[in-house]
């Protein structure tokens, strides 16, 4: 009976004062929320501190304040963009049409035996091989050039590997061009002037003018003669001296006058010879292919072609296809090999 009475009184109070129940419920909810929030805050604080430490280690900034995800992403993107791009390996190209720049080295550091116009030059500096890899050596026969009994030098001309001409104005820096008096001075200083006057005389202009033109147009295109290719101590005008020296050596090595004489082909204003008689006599002695040039039916020039190996060694090659059968000055029929004028 007492229990029923107490229950009845409680119901009356709840109906009369509902705000008491609502307040009690709010208090209980806040206590539960505070307890849960404290636990969550503690967990978040520890995780945040751990995350911040990881970010500092990666960024290397030393800051203990973690950045927002948006800023992290932006900063990471900027770092990636600023990072240097890796270059392709030396001697390779990103695409078949892309040329690779190879730093020059001095000739004493070149690998041995690279030969122009061959696979052995791949990845090498042009100080180590001739960029214009076919060298045409021309000697001329002129009866008025009678300082020496034999052929005289016309020129040593670097051509492309397809036997195309180098730039007509020469190659490299303009300060390598020489004036006529300077060329003569250089040759005299290096003990080559007497040989040049004997074996490389001019048919028209002065010798110095002729040599100047040959150097400026052709000699400067020999890539292994670039001044930066020479090791220290560098010698003044070593490039020009070596160019003229190479031509003189080739003329000495391939003495076509003697080869023809040994083959029964001698200068005579009345006698004629076939092209085969002349080429056979030279090929028999030197095992080298030659291209004959004539003015009309008079022998005027003999050309030979070389690749350049190990910088200074000249290797004879076959006559390039674009040189064979050239109508201009080509020798056909019987050829006159005229005697030189007597020296006055």
Task: Please name which of 9, 251, 297 lies closest in space to residue 151, comparing C-alpha atoms.
Answer: 251
> Which one of the listed residues 154, 185, 262, 271 is annotated catalytic?
154
Cα–Cα distances in angstroms (integers) from residue 130 to residues 116, 224, 240, 308, 311, in the given order: 6, 6, 15, 7, 7
| Residue 22 appears among annotated catalytic residues | no
DSSP of 60-92: -----SPPPHHHHHHHHHHHHHHSPPPPPPTT-
Strand partners, 157: 136
* Two tokens, residue 180: 């006529």
Q: Which residues contact 217 (CB under 8 A, 6 or more apart)?
A: 168, 169, 170
| Secondary structure class of 174 (helix, strand, coil) | helix
Considering 130, 131, 135, 218, which one is annotated as catalytic?
218
Residues contacting residue 319 through CB under 8 Å, at least 6 positions apart: 289, 290, 291, 303, 305
Among residues 131, 214, 242, 301, the one annotated as catalytic is 214
Annotated catalytic residue 218: yes
Catalytic annotation, residues: 154, 214, 218
């Amino acid at each position: 009976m007492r229990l029923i009475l107490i229950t009845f009184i409680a119901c009356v109070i709840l109906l009369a004062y509902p705000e008491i129940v609502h307040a009690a419920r709010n208090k209980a909810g806040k206590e539960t929320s505070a307890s849960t929030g404290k636990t969550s805050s503690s967990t978040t604080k520890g995780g945040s501190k751990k995350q911040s430490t990881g970010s500092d280690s990666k960024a290397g900034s030393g800051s203990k304040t973690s950045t927002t995800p948006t800023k992290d992403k932006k900063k990471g993107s900027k770092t990636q963009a600023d990072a240097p791009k890796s270059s392709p390996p030396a001697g390779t190209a990103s695409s078949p049409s892309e040329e690779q720049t190879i730093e020059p080295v001095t000739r004493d550091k070149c690998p041995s035996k690279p030969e122009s116009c061959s696979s052995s030059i791949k990845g090498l500096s042009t100080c180590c091989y001739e960029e214009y890899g076919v060298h045409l050596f021309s000697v001329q026969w002129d009866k008025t050039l009678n300082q020496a009994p034999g052929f005289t030098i016309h020129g040593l001309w670097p051509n492309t590997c397809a036997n195309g001409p180098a730039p007509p104005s020469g190659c490299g820096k303009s300060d390598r061009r020489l004036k006529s008096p300077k060329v003569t001075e250089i040759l005299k200083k290096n003990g080559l002037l007497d040989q040049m006057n004997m074996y490389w005389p001019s048919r028209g202009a002065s010798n110095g003018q002729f040599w100047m033109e040959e150097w400026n147009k052709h000699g400067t295109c020999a890539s292994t003669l670039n001044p930066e290719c020479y090791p220290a101590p560098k010698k003044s005008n070593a490039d020009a001296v070596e160019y003229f020296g190479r031509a003189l050596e080739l003329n000495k090595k391939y003495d076509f006058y003697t080869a023809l004489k040994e083959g029964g082909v001698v200068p005579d204003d009345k006698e004629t010879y076939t092209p085969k008689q002349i080429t056979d006599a030279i090929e028999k002695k030197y095992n080298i292919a030659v291209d004959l040039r004539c003015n009309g039916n008079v022998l005027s020039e003999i050309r030979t072609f070389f690749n350049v190996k190990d910088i200074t060694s000249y290797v004879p090659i076959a006559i390039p296809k674009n040189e064979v059968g050239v109508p201009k000055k080509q020798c056909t029929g019987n050829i006159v090999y005229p005697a030189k004028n007597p020296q006055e």
